[in-house]
Amino acid sequence: MKYALIIPDGCADEPQESLGGKTPLEAADIPAMDAVAAAGVVGRANHTPATLPAGSDVANLSLFGYNPSEYYTGRAPLEAAAQGIELGQDDWAIRCNLVTIEDQMMKSFTAGHVSTAEAAELLRTLQERLGSAVDTVRCSGADIPICRGEHGISGRQECLPHLGTDRLEFRPGVSYRNLLIYRGAGCPPIFSTDTSATAPHDLTDKSVLDDYPRGPGSDLLNHLMSESVALFADHPVNVARRAAGKLLVTNIWLWGLGGTPHLTPFFQLHGKRGAMITAVDLLRGLATLIGWRRIEVPGATGYLDTDYAAKGRYAVDALNDDDLVCVHVEATDEASHEGNATAKARALEEIDRHIVAPLHEALKRHGDYRILVTPDHPTPLRTKTHSHGDVPFALAGNGIAPDSAATYDDPTAGRSPLAFDEGWRLMGCFLGTSHLGK
């Protein structure tokens, strides 16, 4: 049996006036997705428990069959895994966005999609300069001095070594998506599960005044964010961006922190070997942690300009070697963050034409198969951010008795009696290890 999972990230949505009162899935011309629906079943699943953030980290963990209430430790550790960064027992990974904030409003959580080269230059400055600017860390209600000793702790057990070189590592990723690693071995805990910060993509066009980091260790995070403003103001990267009429990178935004995750290998859970095609580090990291093969596709950007056809070709080829091939596409989510309904519908059409259609045909040639099309979470165009709630899925293949659905869209899924309140159980039904139903 061969399996294909296609994830049009965040495509679940509400009816749009600009689309004639239809949702993007209804408005888009998606004959291949409709064919999956007509050949199988349409239902809905909730991958974002109310007690956890409504983000791609929680949702994709659930989508891959892992109960997020049991396995979730934070977003940044998953992205650290994508970069091959090993976290010790006392280490923390922290997501480090490059953003544009004007008058305390989040103008752009991507800093105008700053380039990877620009981001690397800015993070190099942070690594060189920020450590020497920090004298104390607020921890457990007390100011803990930072030791300046070359070899770390010097004389006081509660004293922290020089953060700029021994404890904090700014690690460049792709574009605005970067990381800060805190190495905590030998020191009292700074952060805890009560440390939190709002995701910057949840703040688009909103005030950030009430959404800075809070909880244990938040004084350090807020200090670093504040110091980055002065460091970036006249940085050569911003000088060049200003001259080119581009948005400036005003500062870093630290969020999504977490400790080391421990995920049971997918093969151990489900008996199948998987492969991941994505341009997003979060999904690369998840694939690494659950033991899937990562396939890097030239031209895959994680944005609306991604090479959909290349993703489709690589996915078809991967069926020769792997039991399950997963294709994740970020473009639909990015369109939602920009509030662009037309772009979201167009991205769905590209996914349909270049990924779903060729994959479905290739699966049929391999013999027994199953195909699942589903987003991870809703990203309404109205709010421009991720939300909790059900997402529609279409599932077809051997052993799936067709229902009456003829199209794949939000209203059809909403009327279906097939629902998974615990979305992580959908994977077992997809693979045939459990029965369809709640």
Among candidate residues 11, 50, 107, 7, the one with its CA nearest the CA of residue 379: 11
pTM for the full predicted model: 0.83
* Cα–Cα distance, 180 to 254 (Å, whole number): 8
Q: Who contacts 403 (Cβ-Cβ below 8 Å, separation ≥6)?
A: 40, 41, 42, 416, 418
- Does 201 map to a domain? yes
Among candidate residues 89, 55, 58, 90, the one with its CA nearest the CA of residue 71: 58
Token duo for residue 277: 């095609």
Do 39 and 153 lie in one domain? The reply is no
Do 161 and 272 lie in one domain? The reply is no
Do 234 and 268 lie in one domain? The reply is no
> What is the pLDDT, as a whole number, of residue 174?
85
- Does 219 map to a domain? yes
> What is the pLDDT, as a whole number, of residue 11?
98
Q: Which domain holds residue 50?
A: 2-72+263-431
> What is the pLDDT, as a whole number, of residue 164?
45
Q: CATH number, domain at 334?
A: 3.40.720.10
Among candidate residues 146, 140, 135, the one with its CA nearest the CA of residue 217: 140
> What is the pLDDT, as a whole number, of residue 437?
55
> Where does 175-280 show beta strands of DSSP type E?
177-182, 251-258, 274-277
Do 144 and 285 lie in one domain? The reply is no
Q: Is 61 exposed, middle or buried (0-12, 13-18, 19+ CB in 10 A)?
A: buried
Domain boundary among 258, 277, 305: 258
Place of tokens 């990562």: 294
Q: How does 281-299 read in b/e, with b if 16+ C-beta sit within 10 Å?
A: bbbbbbbbbbebeebebee
Do 150 and 294 lie in one domain? The reply is no
Q: Which residues pair with 392 in a beta bridge?
A: 44
- Does 161 map to a domain? yes
Phi, psi (degrees; rounded to nearest 5) at 180: -120, 125
Q: What is the pLDDT along the chain (438 residues), one digit of tens a residue?
A: 999 999 999 999 999 999 999 999 999 999 999 999 999 999 999 999 999 989 899 999 999 999 999 999 889 999 999 999 999 999 999 999 999 999 999 999 999 999 999 999 999 999 988 754 444 444 444 444 443 333 232 222 333 333 444 689 999 988 999 999 999 888 888 899 899 899 999 899 999 999 999 999 999 999 999 999 999 999 999 999 999 999 999 999 999 999 988 899 999 999 999 999 999 989 999 999 999 999 999 999 999 999 999 999 999 999 999 999 999 999 999 999 999 999 999 999 999 999 999 999 999 999 999 999 999 999 999 999 999 999 999 999 999 999 999 999 999 999 999 999 999 999 999 999 877 754
Do 67 and 138 lie in one domain? The reply is no
Do 45 and 178 lie in one domain? The reply is no
Do 348 and 201 lie in one domain? The reply is no
> What is the pLDDT, as a whole number, of residue 193?
87
- Does 323 map to a domain? yes
> What is the pLDDT, as a whole number, of residue 131?
53
Domain boundary among 210, 231, 258: 258
- Does 207 map to a domain? yes
Work out how many domains the chain is built from and give that number. 2
Do 209 and 348 lie in one domain? The reply is no
- Does 87 map to a domain? no
- Does 82 map to a domain? no
Among candidate residues 74, 44, 81, 43, the one with its CA nearest the CA of residue 58: 74
- Does 410 map to a domain? yes
Domain boundary among 209, 228, 258: 258
> What is the pLDDT, as a whole number, of residue 129?
86
Do 227 and 98 lie in one domain? The reply is yes
Do 246 and 330 lie in one domain? The reply is no
Do 178 and 234 lie in one domain? The reply is yes
* Cα–Cα distance, 199 to 53 (Å, whole number): 9
